[in-house]
Structure 1
Amino acid sequence: MLREIHCFTKVAERLSFSAAAADLGMSQPAMSQAITRLERATGSRMFERSAREVRLTAEGKALLAYAEQVIESVRAFEVEAARLARPTIHLAYPPLVGTLAARIVRRLAGRSPAIGVELRAAGRSAAARALADGEVSAAILATPAPAPFVTAARFHVTVDHLAVPAGHRLESRPKVTADELGGHVLLTPGTRPWPGLPGRSRLVADDDFAAALDLVAAGAGLLPIPQLLVRTVRRDDVRFVPLEAGDLRITYALAWSRERVTPELMALVQAVQDALWTR
């Protein structure tokens, strides 16, 4: 009866047996026969037909919403079945490089055969745990990655701004140099102080820049931050000042377990490398 229901919704949409038949690649007699079979099966007349027009009956109008739900459910079933049938890998990534993660997904979806990617935003510690436990196929991690993992496709994110609380004496400066940071507390997302910067370091959650900005706003410290993130942050209690501190950067790499190598994982490695080369 599914075919007949599909024919019913199409005739209801077009209010023309010939137009509906053309849309579905059927002959007009075949369309009429399908509607007749549906009417006999349901005991309801779906359409009023005349030489000049086709109209839904009261019964047809009442059943149309249910028919459309059936068709929509079938489409959803087909989409989900196709998704489940294709290979899928799980990738953990820090929110800072979300645009790169999105490009990777698009690249793998566009290849033949397509590979699905399930993304999981996670800081370094959480991503490393998920990778070790086999919950994700790979992770983009700040380097150095934990020893058990294989890494490739390294890339750098330049740290060229300083987040300061609104009203701080540095907020109006055209730029801040490394020498001016002595005596300040510098927030470090990760496990290591910023190399080459004076001042006292306070370590905060791995890759959790949002929480670190809350600490900046509270006056707990200053935060060296990439311009990549500056462009996405909108808040009134924090200001961003250009920072001139030499070659200050965060290095990331794609990491995976050597015991869980699959063809899909190798396709992911290639997609990451391609995405980094063609920005």
Structure 2
Amino acid sequence: MLKEIHCFVRVAERLGFSAAAADLGMSQPAVSQAITRLERATGVRLFERSAREVRLTAEGKGLLPYARQALESAQAFTAEAARLARPTIHLAYPPLVGTLAARIARRLAGRAPAIGVELVVAGRSAAAQALDGGEVSAAILATPAPARFVTAARFHVTVDHLAVPLGHRLAGRGRVTADDLGGQVVLTPGGRAWVGLPGRARMVADDDFSAALDLVAAGAGLLPIPQLLVRAVRREDVRFVPLEAGELRITYALAWARERVTPELMALVQAVQDALWTR
């Protein structure tokens, strides 16, 4: 029946059997026969035909939107079936590396055979729990990752700015050095120690920089932050000042449970490595 409905829609759009047949790659008699079969099946006359023109009947006009909807539903069904049939892996990642995660997903979708990727935003502890429970295939974690996981494809994110609350004495500076942080509370997302930074460290649950920026705005501390996140965040209550404090960086790696290695996972590892080399 879908073939007949497709012919009906195309003839209705072209108002001609020959033109519709050319579009469909069919012969004109085959299209005409398909319309006849559909009219018999529905008991409704769809077109008024004459030697000069083809016109939709009132009934045909009424059925046309439903015919288009049927074709769209069939296309959606086919697309979803294809998606479900292909291998899929679940990748957890922190928001900070979302651009990389998206690039990895595109690479796997474009390979042959394609591999689907379900992206799951998760902080360090949530991602580790998801790995343990088998809810995700792999996760991008700040290192050192828990020893129970296998890791590969390490990369670094440079931390070169300091988030300070609006009105803070450092907010108007052109730059800040490590010496300026003496006596300040320095936030450490995920319990990450900022090596070489003075000041009093305050641990922030998980590695959620967005939540940490809320603490900055509230005056709870200052936050070392990567420039790539600075470019993506717009806040009126926080100022981002360039930070010169040596080689301050966060190291991430792809991690997975050693007992859950699959060909799709190995393809993911390769895609991560390729994405890191070609950015």
Q: Does TM-score exceed 0.5, indicating one fold? A: yes
Match of 1:71 in 2: 71
> Equivalents in 1 of 2:232, 2:52: separation in Å?
59
Residues 4-23 of structure 1 mapped to structure 2, 5 A cutoff: 4-23=4-23
User: 8-17 or 99-108, which moves further after superposition?
Assistant: 8-17
CA positional deviation for 1:256:
0.5
1:97 — aligned with what? 97
AA aligned opposite 2:250: I
- Can you give the 5+ residue segments of structure 2 that lack an aligned partner in the other structure? none
**How do residues 75-224 of structure 1 correspond to structure 2 at under 5 angstroms?**
75-224=75-224
Alpha-carbon shift at residue 52 of structure 1 (Å): 2.5
Match of 2:46 in 1: 46
1:180 CA drift (Å): 0.6
AA aligned opposite 1:138? A
Runs of 4+ aligned residues of structure 1 deviating over 4 Å after TM superposition are none
One-letter code aligned to 1:233:
V
Please say which of residues 41-50 and 133-142 is displaced more in the overlay: 41-50
Counterpart CA distance in 2 for 1:192 and 1:91 is 22
What amino acid is aligned across from residue 172 of structure 1 in structure 2? Answer: G
Question: Which letter does structure 1 place at the counterpart of 2:213?
Answer: L
Q: C-alpha deviations, 1:3-22, integer Å up to 9, x for none?
A: 11111111112212111111
SS of 2:259's equivalent in the other structure is helix
Q: What is the alpha-carbon distance in structure 2 between the residues aligned to residue 54 and residue 172 of structure 1? A: 74
Note the alpha carbon deviations across 1:188-237, whole angstroms, 9 max, x for none: 10123211100001111222111100010010100000001000001100
Identity level (%) = 85
Which shows bigger deviation, 136-145 or 54-63?
Answer: 54-63
The one-letter code of the counterpart of 1:47 is F
Equivalence map 1:262-277=2 (5 Å) = 262-277=262-277
Counterpart of 1:248 in structure 2 is 248
Residue type at the aligned position of 1:81:
A
Number of corresponding residues: 279
**TM value normalised by structure 1:** 0.98
Task: Describe the superposition over 1:235-274 as per-residue Cα deviations: whole angstroms up to 9, x where unpaired.
Answer: 1000000000101000000000110000000000000000
Name stretches of at least 5 consecutive residues in structure 1 with no aligned partner. Answer: none
